[in-house]
Amino acid sequence: MLSYCTNVHPAEDLDGIVAQLDTYAVPVRERLGVDLLGVGLWLAAEVASALADDPGARARFAGELKARGLGVQTLNAFPYGGFHDTVVKHAVYVPEWTDPRRLRYTRDCLTVLADLLHEDASYGSISTLPLAWRDPWGPGDDERAVAALDEVTAHARALSDRVGRPLRLAVEPEPGCVLDTVADAVSWLSGRVDPAYVGLCLDTCHLAVSFADPASTVRRVHDAGLDVVKVQASAALHVENPADPQARAALAEFCEPRYLHQVRELSATGEVLAADDLDAALTDLPGTGPWRVHFHVPLHTRPRSPLASTTDVLTDAVAALAGSGRALPHVEVETYTWTVLPEADRTDLAAGIADELSWARTEVAV
């Protein structure tokens, strides 16, 4: 069941979430001409807590979803709240995995997912942040994070036994974080977590920004005894010649204050150079090699030349997963940046989401 992530919508209370499903998700399903549309729900911490505390509210919400032809197999528990505030930037990484609030939020999301899980889903998944932003972090933080993940695992195991299907956590590497790359995540998770309940979320925008090879990345995960539990189908900006004045002018249109847009440059020697945001990259990186920019661009569109999109990384990653001999993980289209795209690239949101999902159904074959 292909899903789209509802973190594109700003509502942070249950009535608002249902209203936005009526405004966007139902029209998307109707545009696609399908009886069932997958929605990867984002529930801010307060609404997740309220639902976790009220079995009746969970049952009513499950009924609202079913009545609209919407199915849930995955939640996005990366943003804690305020994801559509005027400026989010580093706040999206708070609370980190050493903070009891992150543990409580993730437990709440698991409790909710257990009662929302669609009957056709073979398992449920929840994506989460890669521990924290990189600084500060030390050995004591590792220990606290492992203890929190152990507690989440115990909760996931108990819920899985109750519902008869696994509920799994998917740790999502992101540039600039403690687990910056998939290689970092594999190294940290191996031997620290129970792979039956904790694996990876492969965000293909983040993967592209790291300049990692998709097929080798999938092999690395599997060789370590871990699973890709979830794929967030997303694309980054690619700039072949960032020193070109036309390219720099085009990139400047993607500088905006709300979200962090990490940039990586691949040097001639194979070294990956880093900037924490696009405006910093335009000032600080040499621009002698290609750039990848953490800006989720709609999958079905092509940025204006000389910019390009990394949808090839997405298709290569899914092809590697499909050819691995393992069941294909959950695939969730995650483009949360519609409202901060350059004005000329914005469109009706329901139509844009439907077009993205149509592209994914054809090009990713899910």
Which of the 8 DSSP states describes residue 190? T
pLDDT average, residue stretch 255-284? 97
With respect to residue 303, please indicate whether it lies within any of the assigned structural domains. no
Collapsing DSSP to helix, strand or coil, 219 comes out as: helix
What is the distance between the alpha carbons of residues 310 and 297, in angstroms, rounded to a whole number?
9
With respect to residue 26, please indicate whether it lies within any of the assigned structural domains. yes
Write out pLDDT tens, residues 47-94.
999 999 999 999 999 999 999 999 999 999 999 999 999 999 999 999
pLDDT average, residue stretch 229-258? 98
pLDDT average, residue stretch 138-165? 98
Number of domains in the chain: 1
List, in order, residues 6 or more apart from 52 with CB less than 8 Å away: 58, 107, 108, 109, 111, 112
What's the pLDDT score for residue 365?
A: 73
Label residue 94 exposed, middle or buried (CB < 10 Å: 0-12, 13-18, 19+): middle
pLDDT average, residue stretch 132-147? 97
Asked whether residue 109 carries a pLDDT value surpassing 80, the answer given is yes
With respect to residue 113, please indicate whether it lies within any of the assigned structural domains. yes
With respect to residue 70, please indicate whether it lies within any of the assigned structural domains. yes
The neighbouring-strand residues paired with 274 are 264
Asked whether residue 347 carries a pLDDT value surpassing 90, the answer given is yes
Write out pLDDT tens, residues 213-230.
999 999 999 999 999 999
What is the domain extent for residue 98? 3-234+310-363
pLDDT > 90: percent of the chain: 99
Asked whether residue 181 carries a pLDDT value surpassing 80, the answer given is yes
Sheet containing 263-266: give its strands across: 272-275, 263-266, 291-293, 237-239, 307-309
Asked whether residue 27 carries a pLDDT value surpassing 80, the answer given is yes
What's the pLDDT score for residue 127?
A: 98
With respect to residue 61, please indicate whether it lies within any of the assigned structural domains. yes
Asked whether residue 366 carries a pLDDT value surpassing 90, the answer given is no
Beta strands in the chain (DSSP E): 3-5, 37-40, 70-71, 74-76, 124-128, 167-171, 198-203, 228-233, 237-239, 263-266, 272-275, 291-293, 307-309, 330-333
Label residue 180 exposed, middle or buried (CB < 10 Å: 0-12, 13-18, 19+): buried
Asked whether residue 126 carries a pLDDT value surpassing 90, the answer given is yes
With respect to residue 74, please indicate whether it lies within any of the assigned structural domains. yes
Pairing, β 237-239 against β 307-309: antiparallel
Decide if 75 contacts 114 (C-beta within 8 A).
no
Asked whether residue 39 carries a pLDDT value surpassing 80, the answer given is yes
Q: What is the CATH number of the domain that holds 209?
A: 3.20.20.150
With respect to residue 280, please indicate whether it lies within any of the assigned structural domains. no
CB-side neighbour CA atoms (13 Å) of 191: 4
pTM of the model: 0.98
With respect to residue 209, please indicate whether it lies within any of the assigned structural domains. yes
pLDDT > 70: percent of the chain: 100
